[in-house]
Amino acid sequence: MISFENVSKRYDDGTFAVKNFNLHIKEGELLVLIGPSGSGKTTTLKMINRLIPLTEGYIKIKDKKISDYDIHELRWDIGYVLQQIALFPHMTIEENIAVVPEMKGWGQKEINQRIDELLHMVGLEPETYRKRLPHELSGGQQQRIGVARALAANPQIILMDEPFSALDPLSREKLQDDLIELQKNIKKTIVFVTHDMSEALKLGERICLMKNGEVVQTGTPEELLQQPANDFVREFVGIDQAQAKTVDIREGVKPANPGEMDHLTVISSSVPINEILGLLSEQELLAVEVKGELIGTIDRQGMIRILSRQMEGIK
């Protein structure tokens, strides 16, 4: 879907923001770019929709160089969600969502249907929120509108630049959960920038860890946790501290009938992280017991979400 081929961004003083960057992002994938400040992750994101011009190499969308697209059509076909939300303050919610569909020449009936559909999708009642102004909404509600606006013209690609980092912890966690559920239904190609490893572990189908403008390691959350490429990855992910911890995994357990668990490996609900990750690398499901009684099953995704919360406590 999106391919980076030897991409670099060099400034006039000779410094590189991004250097020899190679990555292929699959269609329908949620890929997280993460790294310390100055690692080049936001520059990489902004090169996709040509907000920042690349210096060397190629970025392709569906095997076509982004330089070959009309710049306005390219940006209209890529949703963009910022940390600052950036809703137009004097426009109503429905007017904010309608901006790109209007630019693309949609009819008013089609736009109205899309506004209702999107507001329902992000959990806001159209009758209540259509006519409101941004300042009448909470930060979390405004960010939901930001997501709805990014989806308005039904783009195949969504770019998200630390969209939840300015929110309070409860709103942030709720929107992370909502994005996971939303992605199950819409299956867009999402590139998500964050500096928070717990958020990356929770959201990313794959994670690209950057340092000094270069890729250090790309892989699934499990791969970064279990097969770190070097000490930088180990330290950034917090593996040494996290894997030694014993955690209560009951919040990630899904109910199951006893017969469904007969063939599964049984583990305690309180278990060291490295032990359960090792088992889940070999088996899709584990049975969980409390005081000798089976209470359900846990899978990789459930464990990664628990681990992301553990990371919040470590960092």
pLDDT digit string, tens, across residues 216-228:
999 998 889 888 9
Same domain, 59 and 147: yes
Q: Which parts of the chain have pLDDT scores under 50? A: 314-315
Last residue of one domain, picked from the residues 214, 238, 262: 238
Cβ count near 158 (within 10 Å): 22
pLDDT at residue 308, rounded to an integer: 76
Cβ count near 278 (within 10 Å): 13
Same domain, 204 and 288: no
Return the DSSP state at 265: P
Same domain, 110 and 99: yes
Same domain, 168 and 309: no
d(CA 152, CA 174): 21
Same domain, 75 and 151: yes
In our burial notation (b when 16+ CB lie closer than 10 A, e otherwise), range 89-109 reads: eeebbbbbbbbbbeeeebeee
Cβ count near 10 (within 10 Å): 15
Last residue of one domain, picked from the residues 238, 263, 295: 238
Could you tell me the sign of the dihedral formed by the alpha carbons of 245, 249, 252, 256, in that order?
A: positive
Same domain, 124 and 71: yes
Same domain, 91 and 29: yes
Same domain, 133 and 276: no
pLDDT at residue 314, rounded to an integer: 47
d(CA 311, CA 194): 14
Q: Which two tokens stand for residue 58?
A: 């190629």
Phi, psi of 149 (to 5 degrees): -65, -40
Same domain, 172 and 210: yes
User: Residue 277 belongs to a domain with what CATH number?
Assistant: 3.90.1280.20
User: Residue 222 belongs to a domain with what CATH number?
Assistant: 3.40.50.300
pLDDT at residue 315, rounded to an integer: 45
Same domain, 43 and 16: yes
CA angle, 158 then 163 then 166, to 5°:
175
Decide: 120 and 126 in contact? Cβ < 8 Å.
Answer: yes
For 145, the enclosing helix (H) or strand (E) is: helix 139-151
pLDDT at residue 240, rounded to an integer: 57
Nearest to 35 by CA among 243, 213, 189, 238: 213
Same domain, 254 and 266: yes
Q: Render pLDDT for 270-282 as a digit per residue (tens, 0 to 9).
A: 877 778 877 887 8
pLDDT at residue 279, rounded to an integer: 86
Domain that includes residue 151, residue range: 2-238
The residues pairing with 154 across neighbouring beta strands, listed in sequence order, are none
Same domain, 275 and 134: no
Last residue of one domain, picked from the residues 238, 263, 286: 238
Domain count, the chain: 2
Residue entry with tokens 């969600």: 81
- For residue 179, the number of C-alpha atoms closer than 13 Å in the C-beta half-sphere is 33
Decide: 76 and 104 in contact? Cβ < 8 Å.
Answer: yes
